[in-house]
Amino acid sequence: MASAPVSTQETGSAPPLVSLRGLTKRFGSFTANESIDLDLHPGEVHALLGENGAGKSTLVKTIYGLIQPTSGHMLWNGQETVVRSPEEARALGVGMVFQHFSLFDNLTVAENIALALPRSERLETIPARIAEVAQRYGIVLEPQRRVWTLSAGERQRIEIARCLLQNPKLLILDEPTSVLTPQEAETLFQTLDRLKAEGRAILYISHKLDEVKRLCDRATILRMGKVVATCDPRQESARSLAALMVGAQVKDVQAASNRVFGEPRIVVDQLSMRSPELHGVALKNISLSVSAGEILGIAGIAGNGQAELFAALSGEVVANTPGVIGFNGKAAGLENITQRRQRQAAFVPEERNGHAAAPDFALSENVVLSRHADGSMTRFGLLDFGRARSLAGEIIGAFDVRKAGPDPAARTLSGGNLQKFVVGREILRNPSALVIDQPTWGVDAAAAAAIRQAIVDLAAKGAAVIVISQDLDELFEISDRIAVIHQGELSEARPASVITREEIGLLMAGAALAH
């Protein structure tokens, strides 16, 4: 284990395009980046790794001019440079593709691209420039398509294309494959190989360590705002990289032995529902059955009906007839979320801050939000906040939730710690059915392993579990069967030991669904 910055690979003879020296950023008394030294070379794909809260986002926002460092400096081609805004960064030659897209759904592809280009660029010239990018890098786009009609992978192509149209010397990518099928990810990798061959520098942020090993020449690992190692990821295992990120070996998820599936506990029978959202996805004749002790994984690219399916299962949107959804042998289609919780069902939505938790409420108050349904939060007809604080403490201890203060507001927790709290709140109820959407989205390797182990352990106790996830590694690690949702339709669920990643990728891209 590296306790100080180390290097296991000499870079090429080309001088660095970007050098950070002693870069430090403080927010009040909190130090997000401390004395960061980093070199990015032309023709290099450089990974930036670290668990949640390690300082990755702060560092790249500094390079991109979104925030200013407290001390230290940046050199561009050997010259000290101050980048005061993203506009200055783009003019310098820095392009960035954020994890969360910044696109206008009701505008066309060409219009969205034009918004990021200089005002001198005329809209009628954009289609020809898009065609040039398509020919050179294989990024195919239809200029006149409205963004709301596009898949997540196509939307990402817009973000990359408008960066490339600015001819960047450095391209920063933040979790670029999180919304892609395996086939789309491979296409992206080919594009990055071409950019590297042209001599462009690429700074690559990802939690997917296998793709880091596939793509990257060097990796810099941050922990608690400091550089703790620089290495050649191709010479490391995913396990050793994860250990560098978290400072300890990450435990493998241990499957329960001799599991026996019981009676069906979650049943959906020909569920069809319109989406309440303007550009949402309607659910079409969805059927599934999950038995006691079983984990059903549902894969899919973002925006293909996952949110609508979760809302229907949880009771946030009520079905038209009672029998289309059942929990523990009872029809629940017309019941709300509280009534379904009273049937021993539990639900963890994708958005943790604002949906799963109230940001300005204390953790104990957030316990009340979902646990009131089981009657454990009342005493003599009144809310028992002593009991709520006690339960919050149990969750914090059992799931290693790291926090400041005895009962802080939910918004003060890092994303990974809030996710552990929300998952723990539901799992410690020992529900007989659990529906969880994107359980480890944006959390570090250690937190992800803890959450997945908790899901597996709950199923081992006899719960039926549905895991909706875009992470195929996650689904293969914990699922008994896997189905794919595409444009509101659900494929036949097949054993995880039989179905392949390639087959899942094709279904995610819209290949005919087998029912």
DSSP string spanning 313-338?
Answer: HHTSS--SSGGGEEETTEE-TT--HH
Q: Give pLDDT, residue 415.
A: 77
H helices of 117-218, in order, are: 126-137, 152-164, 182-197, 209-215
Average of pLDDT values for 104-111? 91
Who wins on pLDDT, 233 or 248? Answer: 233
Report field, pTM of the whole predicted structure over 0.85 = no
- Assess contact for 147 and 474: CB atoms under 8 A: no
178 and 81 in one domain? yes
Average of pLDDT values for 502-509? 89
Whether residue 149 has pLDDT greater than 90: no
Q: Within a domain: residue 417?
A: no
**What is the share, in percent, of the chain residues with pLDDT greater than 90?**
57
Q: Which domain holds residue 55?
A: 18-93+168-246
What is the helix, strand, coil percentage profile of the chain, to 5? Answer: 35, 25, 40
197 and 62 in one domain? yes
The set of residues, in sequence order, having a beta carbon less than 8 Å from that of 63 and lying 6+ positions away, is: 18, 20, 74, 83, 89, 94, 170, 172, 203
344 and 277 in one domain? yes
349 and 486 in one domain? yes
Structure tokens at 447: 């937190």
Whether residue 246 has pLDDT greater than 90: no
DSSP state of 389: H
Q: Domain boundary residue among 213, 246, 279?
A: 246
Q: Within a domain: residue 436?
A: yes
**Banded model confidence at residue 166, pLDDT cuts 50, 70, 90:** confident
C-alpha 244/C-alpha 253 separation (Å) is 19
Q: Give the largest Cα separation in the chain, rounded.
A: 75
Report the number of distinct structural domains present in the chain.
2
132-146: pLDDT as tens digits: 888 888 888 899 999
237 and 271 in one domain? no
The set of residues, in sequence order, having a beta carbon less than 8 Å from that of 514 and lying 6+ positions away, is: 491, 492
177 and 71 in one domain? yes
Average of pLDDT values for 28-38? 92
Whether residue 292 has pLDDT greater than 90: yes
47 and 89 in one domain? yes
Lowest mean pLDDT segment, chosen from 14-23, 119-128, 372-381, 476-485: 372-381
Q: Within a domain: residue 377?
A: no
SS (H, E, C) 262-283: CCEEEEEEEEEECCCCCCCCCE
Q: Within a domain: residue 383?
A: no
Lowest mean pLDDT segment, chosen from 41-55, 176-190, 284-298: 176-190
358-405: pLDDT as tens digits: 999 999 999 998 888 777 777 766 778 888 899 999 999 998 888 878
175 and 233 in one domain? yes
C-alpha 176/C-alpha 470 separation (Å) is 13
Structure tokens at 270: 């020909």
Whether residue 227 has pLDDT greater than 80: yes
Q: Within a domain: residue 448?
A: yes
Q: How many residues comprise the chain?
A: 515
272 and 199 in one domain? no
Provide the mean pLDDT of the chain: 88
Q: Give pLDDT, residue 162.
A: 86
Burial class (CB in 10 A: 0-12, 13-18, 19+), 491: buried
**Banded model confidence at residue 513, pLDDT cuts 50, 70, 90:** low
Structure tokens at 172: 């920063």
Q: Within a domain: residue 446?
A: yes
Structure tokens at 252: 């493998």
C-alpha 415/C-alpha 420 separation (Å) is 9
Average of pLDDT values for 473-492? 94
Three-class SS state of 64 = coil
174 and 76 in one domain? yes
Q: Within a domain: residue 256?
A: no
Q: Give pLDDT, residue 333.
A: 95
Q: Domain boundary residue among 246, 279, 313?
A: 246
- Assess contact for 232 and 217: CB atoms under 8 A: yes
Q: Give pLDDT, residue 262.
A: 94
Domain with residue 349: its CATH number is: 3.40.50.300
Who wins on pLDDT, 498 or 14? Answer: 498
Dihedral pair phi/psi, residue 75, rounded to 5°? -110, 135
489 and 439 in one domain? yes
Whether residue 52 has pLDDT greater than 80: no
Lowest mean pLDDT segment, chosen from 27-41, 66-80, 155-169: 155-169
Instruction: Give the residue among 328, 342, 339 at the shortest CA–CA distance from 429.
Output: 342
Q: Within a domain: residue 330?
A: yes
333 and 208 in one domain? no
Q: Domain boundary residue among 246, 276, 310?
A: 246
Q: Give pLDDT, residue 178.
A: 75
- Assess contact for 155 and 113: CB atoms under 8 A: no
